[in-house]
Amino acid sequence: MSPPADIKGRKRESGAARVLGSGTSGIAELLVFHPVDTVAKRLMSNRTNVSFGNLNTIIFKSAAQSPIHQKFLSLFPGLGYAAGYKIAQRVYKFGGQPYFRDLIDKNGGDYFRNTFGKKWGGLMMHATAGSLTGMGEVVLLPLDVLKIKMQTNPDALRGRGFFRLLSEEGIGSLYKGWGWTIARNVPGSFALFGGSAVTKEYLFHLEDYSSATWGQNFVASITGAVASITVASPLDVVKTRIQNANFNSSEGGFAIIREMVKTEGVSAFFKGLTPKILVVGPKLVFSYTLAQSLIPFFGKYV
């Protein structure tokens, strides 16, 4: 069966194409960038000043004095949780955003176009659909929490599997920081999809964003990724510190913010921003470019 047409009559991809394209991008991202993600999470979780002298310990932790191959392997903690989270997240985020976009266009497209104009109305629908997708992403939070703990605080999980953790700690402990996650995801996803759409609209003058070439998707993804990481950085630092704490920790987000301002200064909210843009940015650009290119590709066949 051929893919359905959207409200404007343009061909849009089937659900199977969206799942296949976004899922493939998630698998590829995991294989290439999990060590990079571990480094970024450990830098964000560090509460001391980073210097050349302590960087080795911050990044490699207990493997800091080990041979180089053991150091490299130490950057792959929580790979099982990471696989479950990353693949599910990318399928939901990159495959789900077009559904939200279609839903908004169907029920409120005229409002957006009348309020913001034809071009900006379309851009705002893309960005708003991204925000809604980011908000719903909180459902996957338990896998993200476990991945982060394995990367930054493995002692909290040592000797305990997933179901034992559920019975001992309760499902609520795995949703710790859910409010801060939503607060980070909404503007971050808005900037990711909005920045990409602005680039395709004004730089490449595309009417149908799914017709973008691989190179156009790549450039648009860079814009969206840098905007997303920068906008979400302050809340991402708070979220990461909540999630990497021991399960019995009762320290909340506002307490973390007060302590950060008091002991580390306001610049702490952007701690690790440059490394995140340099290492997490390419990861997001990689997966988003791949998803945007693969979804239309699979759409030709399913």
108-164 residue pLDDT tens: 999 999 999 988 999 999 999 999 999 998 888 887 777 777 767 777 667 676 677
Residue 4 lies in a domain: no
Segments forming the whole domain that contains residue 52:
15-299
pLDDT band at 102 (very low <50, low <70, confident <90, very high): very high
Residue 196 lies in a domain: yes
Residue percentage of the chain with pLDDT more than 90: 35
Residues 52-68: tens digit of each pLDDT: 888 899 889 888 889 99
Q: What tokens appear for 243 in the block?
A: 């999630």
Rounded Cα distance, 290 and 166, in Å:
35
Residue 257 lies in a domain: yes
Residue 265 lies in a domain: yes
Residue 9 lies in a domain: no
* Residue 10: pLDDT over 60: no
Rounded Cα distance, 259 and 253, in Å:
10
Supply the CATH number for residue 160's domain.
1.50.40.10
Q: Using CA of residue 229, residue 230, residue 233, residue 235, what is the dihedral sign?
A: negative
pLDDT at 247: 63
pLDDT at 3: 43
pLDDT at 226: 93
Residue 96 lies in a domain: yes
pLDDT band at 96 (very low <50, low <70, confident <90, very high): very high
- Share the mean pLDDT of the chain: 83
Residues 129-144: tens digit of each pLDDT: 999 999 998 888 887 7
> Among 10-19, 111-120, 160-169, where is mean pLDDT lowest?
160-169
pLDDT at 111: 94
* Residue 244: pLDDT over 70: no
pLDDT at 54: 87
Mean of pLDDT values over 229-233: 89
* Residue 246: pLDDT over 70: no
pLDDT at 7: 44
Mean of pLDDT values over 202-214: 90
pLDDT at 245: 66
Mean of pLDDT values over 270-299: 86
Residue 2 lies in a domain: no
Query: Which pTM does this prediction carry?
Result: 0.71
Residue 1 lies in a domain: no
How many folded domains does the chain comprise?
A: 1
